[in-house]
Amino acid sequence: MPSSTLPIEPLTAEAFRPFGDVIEASDSARHFSINDGFAERYHDLAQIDVGSLGGRAILSIFKALPRSLPMQLVLLERHPLGSQAFMPLSALPYLVVVAEAGPVPQLSAIRCFRAAPGQGVNYARGTWHHPLIALHQASDFLAVDRGGAPGDANCDEHPLGDTPIWIE
């Protein structure tokens, strides 16, 4: 099959809406002063969805090694039992590759976004996505996702096989 190259788009809340939430302290978010005016709370930034089958929210740190471009995508994954949020702990850009939820990813509709420093993402339940793509150096991400009973099948992988897709 012929290969294809994904364009890299800027990450915006509107463009990312079919896949989940953009997490950022922007003027478009509901925010208000707290702690006697010494802090600003950016409130309810993502729809955390982890309760199915007795799931609970867990907080983790993922350490992602940098990847070089061009890069061939080899698989996408999804979490059918809950959302998965990532917030970078460093002020570095990274890439987000997604396809809408469904039984299999629609390869013709895969999108790639460049997250600016300070932007996080919350993948909606079932959204197909590529594992973290750090760019310039190893990067840490705070992750909020679903913890459940041992054996819960909450990660499906879909190899891209004979359809080379590249990010340049």
Strands 156-159, 75-78: pairing is antiparallel
Q: What is the pLDDT of residues 43-85, one digit of tens each?
A: 999 999 999 888 999 999 999 999 999 999 999 999 999 999 9
Number of neighbours of residue 153 by Cβ within 10 angstroms: 10
Q: What is the pLDDT of residues 119-165, one digit of tens each?
A: 999 999 999 999 999 999 999 999 999 998 877 889 999 999 887 89
Q: Which pLDDT does position 153 carry in this prediction?
A: 87
Q: What is the pLDDT of residues 29-38, one digit of tens each?
A: 999 999 999 9
Strands 94-99, 111-115: pairing is antiparallel
> Domain spanning 4-167: which superfamily?
Ureidoglycolate hydrolase (2.60.120.480)
* Backbone CA torsion sign across 56, 11, 71, 142: negative
Q: Which pLDDT does position 150 carry in this prediction?
A: 79
Q: Which pLDDT does position 2 carry in this prediction?
A: 59
